[in-house]
Amino acid sequence: IREIAIAGAGMAGLHAAESLREAGFEGRVTMIGDEGHRPYSRPPLSKEFLTGKGAPASVELRDDAAFEALDLDLRLGRRAQRLRPAERAIELDDGSAVAADGVVVATGARARRPDTALDGVHVLRSVEDAEAVHEAFKTEERVVVVGAGFIGAEVASSARSAGLEVTLLEAAPTPLTRVIDPRVGGVFTELHRDNGVDLRLGVGVTGFEGRGRVERVRLSDGDTLDASLVVAGLGALPNTEWLEGSGVGLAEGTGGVLCDEYCRTAVPGVYAAGDIAAWPHPRYGGLMRLEHWTNAGEQADTAVRNLLAGDGAGTPYTPVPYFWSDQYGMKIQLLGQAAPADTAEIVHGSAEDRKFVAFLGRDGMLVGVLGLRSTPKVMRYRRLLSERTTWEGALAEVNPRS
């Protein structure tokens, strides 16, 4: 392999480039990114970036010297338009082509947008999105946040600390229902309410009204809210459109690019990593696609090592998934996987104290560890997840005094 193209200049793309050079790859590495920026950090965008009164916190991941040392052919502000495996090339939106005998697909995901073109309705994915919300926080007194998933919940928290009144709308019966048992999710209901958020559960949005700019939000319960600022956290859609017709398969259900356990797509020499990649994780069954910061880096490292090793060699990608969120000054951490139907049992602390570690179980196995304000304890149980531990076996490892 002499030329490798990385499509997508996010966390996965950056790690792919770094891993290539660390592995001693000396050929040309082209990185194509449709944002006009080098890879930057998204997690702060819904957190400290929004709360600062002055200039927003920096989201830079690496300095100039680090990028220089990587010796990349950086194509920023350019979109990968089409993957042409037969010609071993990626076609860009300016009509040019990038030659590549190896490709890392790292085009991530984009925010799902609400169905309106009105001004004042925002999503949060890019630094520009965050700048617009940060500006609006300085002048608006109220915000309606749609969706109490992680992004919506963090925006609500940041808006409160910036002094805004917040209405948080969630169609499900508790916040974070897509990922967490509703009994544990109840803690987060109280967390929002105690911090002065008007949290409305079981309520969807049926439309936005206004002339040019949003003025009102119509709700499924018949109510109408006055609103000149709305932030929607409605989940993300993988950026797979440019791969149409390339032979790279897409995953049913989870969406994203279908990979095997080596991060290989259906097209030889084309690997995928980060928010866009779906793959069979042997410990969890079915396909997994993670929208987690740590995963983007780790999966890109594995994808690149396997790309360089070639078919028949390489390492399966079997991480212990890790995710964190910061809300109202509290850190929430999830190791492993969580689904609403999982059994949940608090093994340290208590929901009342808002400081706990909960085990999540499925089919007699430990599948996840969820913590609130309990960082060292959560991390101690990582081994149980990497070793595949039964529910009973996991409970036997708990030392209540530790």
Neighbours of 262 (CB within 10 A): 20
* 59 vs 171, beta carbon nearer ligand FAD: 59
Site track 151-180 with ligand FAD (rule: CB under 6 A), x = hit: x-----------------------------
CA dist 52 and 137 (Å) reads 10
Six-digit token pair at 242? Answer: 């440019």
Q: Is 338 in the site for ligand FAD (CB under 6 A)?
A: no
Comparing CB distances to ligand FAD, the nearer of 12 and 394 is 12
Give bridge partners of residue 270 from the DSSP assignment: 103
Q: With beta carbons less than 8 A apart as the criterion, state whether 353 and 330 touch.
A: no
SS3 content of the chain, % helix, strand, coil (to 5): 25, 30, 40
Q: Tell me whether residue 146 or residue 394 sits nearer to ligand FAD (CB atom).
A: 146
CB of 230 to ligand FAD, least distance (A): 16
* DSSP-based three-state secondary structure for 73: strand
Distance between CA atoms of 302 and 33, rounded to whole angstroms? 21
Residues 61 to 90: which contact ligand FAD by CB under 6 A? 79-80
CB nearer to ligand FAD: pick between 10 and 185: 10
Give residues 277-316 in contact with ligand FAD (rule: CB under 6 A).
Answer: 291-294, 296
Q: What is the CA radius of gyration of the chain?
A: 22
Q: Which is nearest to 46 in space by CA: 107, 113, 137?
A: 137
For the beta sheet containing 28-33, the strands, ordered from the edge strand earlier in sequence to the opposite edge, are 73-76, 28-33, 3-7, 102-105, 270-272
Q: Judged by CB, which is closer to ligand FAD: 159, or 394? A: 159
Of the candidates 38, 122, 125, 348, which one interacts with ligand FAD according to CB under 6 A? 125
Alpha carbon 234 to chain centroid, angstroms: 12
Residue 189 within binding range of ligand FAD, rule CB under 6 A: no
Q: Give yes or no for residue 7 binding ligand FAD (CB under 6 A).
A: yes
HSE on the CB side for 304, CA within 13 Å?
27
Q: Which of 5, 6, 10, 38 binds ligand FAD (CB under 6 A)?
A: 10
Query: 181, 275, 301, 342: which one contacts ligand FAD (CB under 6 A)?
Result: 275
| Residues in region 198-257 near ligand FAD by CB under 6 A | 239, 242
Distance, first Cα to last Cα, the chain: 51
By CB under 6 A, the count of residues binding ligand FAD is: 36
Least separation, in Å, of the C-beta of 313 and ligand FAD? 24
Q: How many CA atoms lie within 13 A of 65 on its CB side?
A: 0
Site string for ligand FAD, 30-49 (x = CB under 6 A): --xxxx------xx-xx---
- Give whichever of 339 and 365 is closer to ligand FAD, judged by the CB atom: 339
- Per CB under 6 A, the segment of 177-185, 210-218, 260-268, 319-327 that binds ligand FAD is 319-327
- Residue 359 CA to residue 21 CA, distance in Å, equals 39
Nearest-approach distance from CB 16 to ligand FAD, in angstroms: 9
3-state secondary structure of 343: strand
Euclidean distance between CA atoms 271 and 285, whole angstroms: 21
What amino acid occupies position 345? E
Least Cβ distance, residue 393 to ligand FAD (angstroms): 28
For binding to ligand FAD (CB under 6 A), which residues are involved? 7-13, 32-35, 42-43, 45-46, 79-80, 106-109, 124-125, 151, 239, 242, 274-275, 291-294, 296, 323-325
